[in-house]
């Protein structure tokens, strides 16, 4: 898709930074980044006037756009007309779909047969054996709460879908990762693909699968797999490629065959990365499984989606809590293994003991499954929707407008839109198109390679070629404003976290919860607080992206060597000087990574923000999904992908760094 962008002469471009004051210029020139920008500046100085003369200096010129409406519409019609007769659907997609449905059905039937007691006990047993007593208790309590909230059946449906999606993602991801880890050529091919997928908002995936498979569980599982497999592939490849050469040579000199080398040396040594990959895949699958309710995935996501259509924050929360609990349980259970990996394998007695525990545990689960009735007892449920809604109404009544001194949330929303986003949008939309490309090239080149620069520029150009320039600039302005807000807040909190271990301990569980909450749940309270429009979308985006920023920046700041801090203090630096001149520069890689994450996460929510009036590209995707209009939805989806790719490349500091999320 982005290759269409290379038809423009803009692949090489420049920095408009040349008119800086001379003193600073010289200082800048001493830095390698500035020196790298020089060739760009030269190329831009030649090409920009040329572009201006040929195509003018407004938004993207029509002469360089290609309308895909016609072909896409007929492709969409063709698929709908041939879906029940063409061999491609009958003999390929049909099997894929049937297989997925059968798998989900099988898992669901097993879960139902186990009953609530069996499932709860089973989850507790697995969590306990995998990650310790605390994880076991967490699992037990979490499943009990799901039942208490009267969400047992939806939880089981989501769990069934998740099990199938995660297994498929891990298998697909591990196979791709294995190929990339063992073959240099496969790695070179896969890497940009995986990088790109990492930056794509979940919403962009939905329309193509819906078109081929219709709505339902099968397309939901597929969209989830496409979204969740890349981290597994990345981390598998990373783990295999970072195997210690010395060990490999030693194994080889012992005469091991390639297969033995892989199974006995490389895979075991990549164990930590593989487990991290599984963990990330699970977390991403869960977040996608919720969004996929838009295309007919049943379960908890559907409950949230339905609650949103009646502005029922309480009911949305009742379905949102089980999602968070599932996330916490899955996260604790799978990340707990990493630390246990160092425990040496015990002798025979330890192994028999483990076997006995499992046997006893399984027997107990079987007994529970057989004796306790399958459905969660109705009298044991708690309805939280009403009190939650009352609390929300109270908050809205008291915060919406007319707070003395600071105004209400409605006023903030108006100021945010009128003073920040609108001017920014008008600036971006008024920017000559070649200047936008130059700016992107300069930003990307300043911290990246020629290749990332070319990708960023090509991605932005592709948006123009597809005729979505103005809309994309609207979305971009929302992203930039929200990212700025996120970074200011995030870095401030991160500094506090880095200074005090107690703040960190207090904040950690809060951050955990916020990071795993489905984006959907955020949308309605922000509408109540900020009205409809771009402000609520931004608020949701900031809340969603903050935890990652705080965590990464906080860890980076804390990792600054105490020695450096100590010596700066002995030189008489004030707290402020220390922060700005020692901590921030030393933590630069982590801070850049935080920026990168903020951009990617904010974009994903700004897109979903179309559901609350955010407009822009997200609105076109919603429109496309709602009307089954491939021409609008797919082009917007691809534009979002390009925008995400561009933003990622512009903010991606060094290769490989953003694997550590």
Partner 1 sequence: MRAKHLAAAAAAFGLLALTGCGAADMTKQGSPYADAAGAKSVTLSVQSWVGARANAAVAQYLLEHELGYRVDTVQVDEVPAWDALSQGRVDAILEDWGHPEQEQRYVRDKKTVADGGGLGVDGHIGWWVPKYFADAHPDVLDWRNLNKYAAQLRTPESGGKGQLLDGSPSYVTHDKALVKNLNLDYQVVFAGSEAAQITQIKQFAKDRKPFLTYWYEPQWLFNEVPMVEVKLPPYTDECAAKGDKDPDSVDCAYPTSRLKKYLNAGFARKGGDAASFLKKFRWTKRDQNEVAQLMAEDRLSAEDAAERWVKRHPDVWKEWVA
User: Residue 472: which of 646, 600, 648, 649 has the closest Cα?
Assistant: 646
Record the tokens describing residue 661, joined without a space: 């999320």
User: Residue 213: which of 102, 95, 72 has the closest Cα?
Assistant: 95
Q: Give the residue with the Cβ less far from partner 1, 411 or 512.
A: 411
Q: Give the residue with the Cβ less far from partner 1, 210 or 446.
A: 210
Q: Could you say which of 7, 65, 242, 306 contacts partner 1 (CB under 8 A)?
A: 306
The window from 98-106, 444-452, 474-482, 559-567 that contacts partner 1 (CB under 8 A) reads 98-106
**In the complex, minimum distance from the CB of residue 223 to partner 1, in angstroms, rounded to a whole number:** 14
Binding residues for partner 1 restricted to 526-545, rule: CB under 8 A: 527-528, 531-535
User: Residue 617: which of 202, 68, 204 has the closest Cα?
Assistant: 204
**In the complex, minimum distance from the CB of residue 89 to partner 1, in angstroms, rounded to a whole number:** 6
> Contact between 403 and partner 1 (CB under 8 A)?
no
**In the complex, minimum distance from the CB of residue 394 to partner 1, in angstroms, rounded to a whole number:** 14
Q: Give the residue with the Cβ less far from partner 1, 311 or 359.
A: 311
Q: Give the residue with the Cβ less far from partner 1, 264 or 401.
A: 401
> Contact between 80 and partner 1 (CB under 8 A)?
yes
Q: Give the residue with the Cβ less far from partner 1, 481 or 594.
A: 481
Classify burial at 377, counting beta carbons within 10 Å of its beta carbon; exposed 0-12, middle 13-18, buried 19 or more. exposed
**In the complex, minimum distance from the CB of residue 161 to partner 1, in angstroms, rounded to a whole number:** 8
Contact 479, 603 (CB under 8 A): yes
Residue whose pair of structure tokens reads 């082009």 in the numeric block: 635
Q: Could you say which of 615, 653, 659, 661 contacts partner 1 (CB under 8 A)?
A: 615
> Contact between 547 and partner 1 (CB under 8 A)?
no
Distance between CA atoms of 246 and 252, rounded to whole angstroms?
10
Q: Give the residue with the Cβ less far from partner 1, 26 or 383.
A: 383
Distance between CA atoms of 487 and 469, rounded to whole angstroms?
26
Q: Give the residue with the Cβ less far from partner 1, 250 or 626.
A: 626
**SS3 annotation, 338-364:** HHHCCCCCCCHHHHHHHHHHHHHHHHH
Q: Could you say which of 401, 561, 574, 654 contacts partner 1 (CB under 8 A)?
A: 401
Q: Give the residue with the Cβ less far from partner 1, 132 or 214.
A: 214
The dihedral over CA atoms of 208, 214, 217, 223, expressed in degrees to the nearest 10, equals 0
Q: Give the residue with the Cβ less far from partner 1, 93 or 584.
A: 93
**SS3 annotation, 519-567:** HHHHHHHHHHHHCCCHHHHHHHHHHHHHHHHHHHHHHHHHCCCHHHHHH
Between the alpha carbon of residue 160 and those of residues 47, 64, 191, 361, 369, the distances in Å are 56, 48, 31, 22, 17
Distance between CA atoms of 536 and 529, rounded to whole angstroms?
8
Running DSSP on this structure, what letter comes out for residue 572? T
> Contact between 189 and partner 1 (CB under 8 A)?
no
Q: Could you say which of 19, 63, 91, 562 contacts partner 1 (CB under 8 A)?
A: 91
> Contact between 596 and partner 1 (CB under 8 A)?
no
Record the tokens describing residue 566, joined without a space: 């100590």
Distance between CA atoms of 172 and 162, rounded to whole angstroms?
15
Record the tokens describing residue 613, joined without a space: 């009036």
Classify burial at 351, counting beta carbons within 10 Å of its beta carbon; exposed 0-12, middle 13-18, buried 19 or more. exposed
Q: Could you say which of 628, 653, 659, 661 contacts partner 1 (CB under 8 A)?
A: 628
Q: Could you say which of 137, 171, 263, 311 contacts partner 1 (CB under 8 A)?
A: 311
Contact 549, 486 (CB under 8 A): yes
> Contact between 626 and partner 1 (CB under 8 A)?
yes
Q: Give the residue with the Cβ less far from partner 1, 195 or 298.
A: 298
Binding residues for partner 1 restricted to 330-389, rule: CB under 8 A: 385-386, 389
User: Residue 494: which of 481, 482, 504 has the closest Cα?
Assistant: 504
**Number of CB atoms found within 10 A of residue 230's CB:** 26
The window from 361-369, 408-416, 563-571, 584-592 that contacts partner 1 (CB under 8 A) reads 408-416
**In the complex, minimum distance from the CB of residue 610 to partner 1, in angstroms, rounded to a whole number:** 5
Q: Could you say which of 312, 331, 474, 648 contacts partner 1 (CB under 8 A)?
A: 312
How many residues belong to the chain?
A: 661
Q: Give the residue with the Cβ less far from partner 1, 214 or 589.
A: 214
Residue whose pair of structure tokens reads 């203090």 in the numeric block: 569
Q: Give the residue with the Cβ less far from partner 1, 69 or 244.
A: 69
CA angle at 451 for the pair 446 and 452, rounded to the nearest 5°:
55
The window from 270-278, 427-435, 612-620, 639-647 that contacts partner 1 (CB under 8 A) reads 612-620
Q: Could you say which of 6, 61, 93, 579 contacts partner 1 (CB under 8 A)?
A: 93
Binding residues for partner 1 restricted to 286-305, rule: CB under 8 A: 293, 295-296, 298, 302, 305
**In the complex, minimum distance from the CB of residue 150 to partner 1, in angstroms, rounded to a whole number:** 9
Q: Could you say which of 121, 149, 218, 479 contacts partner 1 (CB under 8 A)?
A: 218
Q: Could you say which of 610, 636, 638, 645 contacts partner 1 (CB under 8 A)?
A: 610
Number of residues that bind partner 1 (CB under 8 A): 76
Q: Could you say which of 55, 128, 143, 213 contacts partner 1 (CB under 8 A)?
A: 213
Q: Could you say which of 125, 204, 292, 315 contacts partner 1 (CB under 8 A)?
A: 315
Q: Give the residue with the Cβ less far from partner 1, 511 or 543.
A: 543
Record the tokens describing residue 369, joined without a space: 């499954």
Q: Could you say which of 170, 174, 197, 217 contacts partner 1 (CB under 8 A)?
A: 217
Phi-psi region of 299 (alpha: psi -120 to 50; beta: other; left: phi over 0): left
The dihedral over CA atoms of 579, 583, 585, 586, expressed in degrees to the nearest 10, equals 170
Q: What is the DSSP string of 44-96?
A: HHHHHHHHHHHH-SSSS-GGG----HHHHHHHHHHHHHHTTT-HIIIIIIHHH
**In the complex, minimum distance from the CB of residue 602 to partner 1, in angstroms, rounded to a whole number:** 18
The site map against partner 1 for 129-168 (x = CB under 8 A) is ----------------------------x--x--------
Q: Give the residue with the Cβ less far from partner 1, 85 or 570.
A: 85
Specify the 3-state DSSP secondary structure of 604.
helix
Question: Euclidean distance between the first and final Cα of the chain, in Å?
Answer: 27
**In the complex, minimum distance from the CB of residue 613 to partner 1, in angstroms, rounded to a whole number:** 5
Between the alpha carbon of residue 613 and those of residues 437, 535, 609, 622, the distances in Å are 28, 9, 7, 11
> Contact between 216 and partner 1 (CB under 8 A)?
yes
Distance between CA atoms of 77 and 74, rounded to whole angstroms?
5
Q: Give the residue with the Cβ less far from partner 1, 425 or 551.
A: 425
The dihedral over CA atoms of 647, 417, 468, 594, expressed in degrees to the nearest 10, equals 10
> Contact between 16 and partner 1 (CB under 8 A)?
no
Q: Could you say which of 627, 654, 655, 657 contacts partner 1 (CB under 8 A)?
A: 627
The site map against partner 1 for 506-525 (x = CB under 8 A) is -----------------xx-
> Contact between 83 and partner 1 (CB under 8 A)?
yes
Record the tokens describing residue 372, joined without a space: 């306790």
């Amino acid at each position: 898709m982005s290759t269409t962008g290379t038809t423009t002469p803009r692949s090489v471009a420049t920095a408009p930074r040349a008119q800086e004051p001379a003193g600073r210029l010289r200082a800048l020139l001493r830095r390698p980044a500035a020196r790298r920008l020089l060739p760009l500046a030269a190329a831009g100085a030649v090409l920009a006037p040329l572009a201006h003369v040929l195509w003018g200096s407004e938004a993207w010129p029509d002469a360089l756009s290609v309308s895909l409406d016609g072909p896409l519409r007929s492709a969409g019609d063709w698929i709908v007309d041939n879906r029940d007769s063409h061999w491609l659907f009958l003999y390929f997609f049909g099997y894929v779909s049937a297989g997925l449905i059968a798998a989900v059905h099988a898992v669901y039937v097993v879960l139902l047969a186990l009953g609530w007691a069996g499932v709860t006990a089973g989850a507790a047993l697995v969590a306990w054996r995998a990650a310790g007593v605390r994880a076991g208790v967490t699992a037990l309590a979490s499943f009990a709460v799901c039942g208490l909230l009267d969400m047992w059946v939806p939880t089981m449906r989501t769990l069934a879908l998740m099990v199938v999606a995660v297994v498929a993602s891990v298998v697909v991801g591990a196979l791709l990762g294995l190929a990339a880890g063992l073959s240099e050529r496969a790695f070179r091919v896969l890497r940009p693909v995986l990088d790109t997928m990492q930056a794509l908002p979940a919403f962009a995936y939905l329309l193509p699968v819906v078109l081929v498979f219709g709505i339902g569980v099968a397309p939901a599982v597929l969209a989830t797999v496409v979204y969740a497999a890349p981290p597994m592939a990345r981390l598998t490849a990373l783990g295999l490629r970072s195997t210690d050469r010395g060990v490999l040579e030693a194994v080889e000199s012992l005469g091991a065959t390639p297969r033995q080398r892989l199974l006995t040396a490389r895979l075991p040594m990549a164990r930590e990365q593989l487990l991290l990959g599984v963990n990330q895949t699970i977390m991403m699958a869960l977040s996608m499984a919720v969004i996929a309710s838009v295309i007919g995935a049943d379960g908890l996501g559907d409950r949230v989606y339905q609650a949103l259509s009646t502005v029922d924050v309480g009911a949305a929360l009742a379905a949102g809590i089980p999602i968070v609990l599932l996330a916490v349980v899955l996260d604790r259970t799978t990340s707990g293994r990493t630390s246990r990996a160092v425990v040496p394998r015990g002798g025979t007695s330890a192994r028999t003991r483990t076997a006995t525990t499992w046997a006893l545990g399984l027997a107990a689960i079987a007994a529970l499954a057989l004796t306790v009735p399958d459905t969660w007892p109705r009298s044991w449920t708690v309805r939280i929707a009403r009190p939650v809604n009352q609390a929300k109404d109270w908050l809205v009544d008291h915060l919406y407008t007319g707070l003395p001194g600071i105004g209400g949330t409605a006023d903030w929303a108006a100021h945010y839109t009128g003073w920040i986003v609108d001017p920014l949008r008008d600036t971006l939309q008024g920017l000559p198109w070649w200047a936008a490309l130059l700016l992107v090239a300069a930003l990307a080149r300043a911290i990246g390679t020629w290749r990332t620069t070319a990708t960023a520029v090509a991605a932005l150009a592709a948006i123009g070629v597809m005729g979505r320039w103005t809309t994309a600039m609207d979305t971009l302005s929302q992203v930039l404003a929200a990212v700025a807000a996120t970074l200011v807040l995030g870095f401030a909190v991160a500094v506090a976290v880095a200074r005090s271990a107690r703040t960190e301990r207090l904040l950690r569980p809060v951050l955990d919860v916020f990071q795993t909450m489905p984006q959907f749940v955020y949308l309605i309270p922000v509408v109540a607080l900020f009205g409809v429009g771009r402000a609520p979308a931004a608020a949701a985006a900031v809340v969603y992206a903050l935890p990652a920023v705080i965590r990464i920046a906080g860890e980076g700041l804390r990792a600054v060597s105490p020695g450096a801090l100590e010596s700066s203090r002995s030189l008489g630096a004030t707290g402020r000087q220390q922060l700005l001149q020692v901590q921030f520069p030393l933590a630069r890689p982590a801070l850049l990574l935080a920026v990168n994450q903020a951009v990617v996460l904010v974009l994903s929510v700004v897109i979903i923000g179309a559901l609350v009036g955010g407009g822009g590209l997200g609105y076109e995707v919603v429109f496309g999904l709602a009307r089954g209009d491939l021409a609008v939805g797919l082009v917007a989806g691809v534009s979002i992908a390009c925008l995400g790719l561009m933003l990622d490349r512009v903010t991606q500091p060094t290769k490989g760094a953003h694997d550590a999320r």
